[in-house]
Structure 1
Amino acid sequence: MSWQAYVDDQLLATGKISRAAILGKQGGIWAVSKGYTLAQKEQDVIVKTLFTKPDEVRANGITLAGFKFMTIKAEPDEAIGRKGERGVFIVPTKQAILVGEYEAPAQAGDANIVVTGLADYLKSVGY
């Protein structure tokens, strides 16, 4: 399966995720939903700062495609952001980082299950 198919078929097709991306831990976007543009600075924060300097991320929030989320959680296994009726789950795997945004009427818990489920699968196959 291509990386784009993971975004399209495993994240967006659920109806629980509205925008998504898969980034490589070494940098670069492996796949992204149509129209979801992550600036290089935003990618750098995800890859280089989010899981290594959580206090910095908690203080500054998480900005994706120009939209700034308040950081709810920044831990080595997951980062969560929220603002209004929108939220994001960012989950690292062995080689990649999954980004899944949701918005109402989707519920946070449902979106979390989708993103972490794909992350668990990718970890199980070495990614």
Structure 2
Amino acid sequence: MSWQDYVDKQLLASRCVAKACIAGHDGNVWARSDGFEVTKEELAKLVQGFEKQDILTSSGVTLAGNRYIYLSGTDRVIRCKLGKVGVHCMKTTQAVVVSLYEDPIQPQQAASVVEKLGEYLMSCGY
């Protein structure tokens, strides 16, 4: 399966994710959904936030030019929100899976899909 297939067939096809991308820890995008113009700099800052979450508590998370309010996170998962749009991100060994979901999708629905893919990627060494 290609990286684009993971975005299209695993994340978007679940209908629990509205937009998504998979990128390396360096911020380089491996695959993304149409119209999700997240930048390398935004992704690199997000990846730093897994290690230093105080960065995110003060400045939030910016994706595709939109700034989301940081809600919570661990060294593997980050959650943010802006109005009716939520963000759920998971860091794997070599990548970060970033997803946006919108009402009426519940946060736990998006979390389940993103984390299931993240766990699978880690089991494959990514």
TM-score (norm. length: structure 2): 0.95
Query: 5 Å matches for 1:96-107?
Result: 96-107=95-106
Give distance in 2, aligned partners of 1:119 and 1:41. 22
CA RMSD across the alignment: 1.0
TM-score (norm. length: structure 1): 0.94
Aligned to 2:8: 8
Give distance in 2, aligned partners of 1:43 and 1:79. 12
SS of aligned partner of 1:51: helix
SS of aligned partner of 2:50: coil
1:10-67, CA deviations, whole angstroms, 9 ceiling, x for partnerless residues?
00011110000001113300000011101232122123x2112110111110111111
Percent identity over the alignment? 39
In structure 2, stretches of 5+ residues that fail to align are: none
Is the contact between residue 57 and residue 74 of structure 1 (CA under 8 Å) also seen in structure 2?
no
SS of aligned partner of 1:9: helix
SS of aligned partner of 2:51: coil
Is the contact between residue 58 and residue 71 of structure 1 (CA under 8 Å) also seen in structure 2?
yes
Aligned to 1:88: 87
Q: What is the aligned residue count? A: 126
Give distance in 2, aligned partners of 1:59 and 1:15. 31
| 1:33 partner amino acid | S
Moved over 3 A (4+): none
Report the CA distance between 1:84 and its aligned residue: 1.5
| 1:2 partner amino acid | S
